[in-house]
Structure 1
Amino acid sequence: MKNVNTVVSTAMASLIALGALGLQSEAFAADKKDVEKCYGVTKAGKNDCKTLSNACAGHSTADNQKDAFIALPAGTCERIVGGSLEAPADMK
């Protein structure tokens, strides 16, 4: 009986793990498509990439920094007050 419980437990754990891996790969695929850069809406230290004043993600120095962006699902940025799909002119 103990052997059967071990086999069943192992099988269930395997199914749960495979399911979790499937969900992660779907989420990753969704991250790559249908996203846009939204400038001017990030909190300090929460930007996704470099800005004019720093070279790394997560290093913006002020809230709503105009040259800092965050990747958002397509169509979201236009609905956020202060959000812009265009980088500031001096950043291009």
Structure 2
Amino acid sequence: MTVTTLRPLSLAAVALSAALGSAALSAPASAAGEMEKCFGISAAGKNDCATATSSCAGTSKVDRQGDAFVAVPKGTCTKISGGSLEPKK
């Protein structure tokens, strides 16, 4: 193959990679809209984000910590034993 044949193929490969990459990045954003925070159900160290008593994800100290949450599909939190849409005190 010559340089003139490789250049269009390279450009096509770059364009395809960019298109697939942006599609993959947009999927979690749309999925996030279908999720809700569910408090009081996470295992120790498995929470999704900071709480009133811990600084970041994965730092809850006990199982079912009332102010620690995990993201679950909308409509399922209240069906889980101990699940709450609001932080527990």
Per the normalisation by structure 1, the TM-score is 0.70
Deviation of the 1:79 alpha carbon: 3.4
- Structure 2 CA distance for partners of 1:5 and 1:68, relative to 1, 3 Å: same
Structure 2 residue aligned with 1:21: 22
- Measure, in 2, the Cα distance between the counterparts of 1:63 and 1:50: 15
- Measure, in 2, the Cα distance between the counterparts of 1:20 and 1:79: 36
Partner-residue secondary structure (3-state), 1:30? helix
How much is the aligned-residue C-alpha RMSD, in angstroms? 2.3
Which segments of 5 or more consecutive residues in structure 1 lack a partner in the other structure?
A: none
| Letter of the 1:11 counterpart | A
Name segments (4+ residues, structure 1) moved above 4 Å.
Answer: none
- Measure, in 1, the Cα distance between the counterparts of 2:52 and 2:68: 8
Partner-residue secondary structure (3-state), 2:12? helix
Once the two structures are superposed, the pairs formed by residues 39-78 of structure 1 within 5 Å of their partners are 39-78=39-78
User: Percent same amino acid at aligned positions?
Assistant: 43
Aligned residues: 88
Residues 45-77 of structure 1: per-residue CA shift (max 9 Å, x gap): 222333343233321012222221112221122
| Letter of the 2:76 counterpart | T
